[in-house]
Amino acid sequence: MSESPSTSASPYGTLPPASAPAQRKPVSLPRLLDMHARGEKITMLTAYDATFAAAADAAGVDCILVGDSLGMVCQGLSSTVGVTLETMRYHVESVVRGVQRVQGTTWIIGDLPYGTYHASKEQAFQSASVLMQAGAHMVKLEGGGWTTETVRFLVERGIPVCAHLGLTPQTVHALGGYRVQGKTDEAAAELKRHALALQDAGATLLVLEMVPADLSAELTRLLPRCATIGIGAGVDTAGQVLVLHDMLGVNLGKMPKFVHNFMADAGSVLGAMQAYVQAVKSKKFPVNHLHAW
């Protein structure tokens, strides 16, 4: 894996001063789709607070996902199911302040937690509004099939949507655990159907979690208007996402096989994030035989 470009003595790294000119234009939806069209890899990391969000922005991470994974890594819950909308609002606001503290260029995605978009499209709109008013640029929701009309409803009302297929942690109990999805021909065909329907409904990003590498490569080719973001889904997606605590090697539980610890060779958190950006952009991460199925 590549060396970290940062050699700061501080475990955090040195951020540019708040007054420094931004090194890049703010990431926007057209820019993300343009990156997908040009084959430039999109980098995404989760972050939950101002300090780590500021580092991600300074490191040039394209997108921050304020994921409901915070239930596990920040709150110590056993799954994401117990995370509330109010908790998500609090963390989105914190991340937005952190990003604004540095360059203010990173695209911020707020995760809609379990039970806040399932009852009706109107409920989904109310919940999404809370995260958008907290400063998110986009919301994420999990699942295919019934979510298609919810995505359409949100997009028609001006809310950009990131969908999420494959291993969907909010329904981990129904899926029978954290396991690879889309392995049989039937499951792969269903995943493809859902992905195409989500693109038609207007979803512009699609997280693919724990999906076989050849299937996510095929989906990436099939979806010109919806950039796939892989996590344990091989290298041939439009972009990659990792949970921050995993890529820093501070996960309290079992480290998923698809994770690389970027902190191990970096001098600082900022250096680890810069190494991640460099590794994803240059297609050195993930290494298919190590980090996918």
Q: Is 276 helix (H, G, I), strand (E, B) or coil?
A: helix
Task: Supply the minimum distance, in Å, between the C-beta of residue 225 and ligand KIV.
Answer: 20
64 neighbors 277 (Cβ within 8 angstroms): no
Task: Supply the minimum distance, in Å, between the C-beta of residue 231 and ligand KIV.
Answer: 5
* Catalytic-role residue among 40, 93, 142, 209: 209
Q: Which stretch binds ligand KIV (CB under 6 A): 50-58, 64-72, 101-109, 145-153?
A: 64-72
At 160, the amino acid letter reads P
231 in contact with ligand KIV (CB under 6 A) = yes
Among 68, 88, 159, 230, binds ligand KIV (CB under 6 A): 68
H or E stretch at 173: helix 172-175
244 in contact with ligand KIV (CB under 6 A) = no
Q: Is 240 helix (H, G, I), strand (E, B) or coil?
A: strand
Of 290, 257, 288, 285, nearest to 273 by C-alpha is 285
Burial of 30 (0-12, 13-18, 19+ CB in 10 A): exposed
Looking at beta carbons only, is 67 or 267 nearer to ligand KIV? 67
Q: Cα(198)–Cα(186) distance, rounded to whole angstroms? A: 18
Give one DSSP letter per residue of 42-80, joined into a string. EEEEE--SHHHHHHHHHHT-SEEEE-TTHHHHTT--SSS
Task: Supply the minimum distance, in Å, between the C-beta of residue 22 and ligand KIV.
Answer: 26
248 in contact with ligand KIV (CB under 6 A) = no
> For the window 179-208, what string marks contact with ligand KIV as x by the rule CB under 6 A?
----------------------------x-
Among 4, 6, 43, 46, binds ligand KIV (CB under 6 A): 46
Task: Supply the minimum distance, in Å, between the C-beta of residue 80 and ligand KIV.
Answer: 6
Q: Cα(83)–Cα(129) distance, rounded to whole angstroms? A: 17
| 142 given a catalytic annotation | no
Looking at beta carbons only, is 33 or 259 nearer to ligand KIV? 259
Task: Supply the minimum distance, in Å, between the C-beta of residue 243 and ligand KIV.
Answer: 5
241 in contact with ligand KIV (CB under 6 A) = yes
Catalytic residue positions? Answer: 209
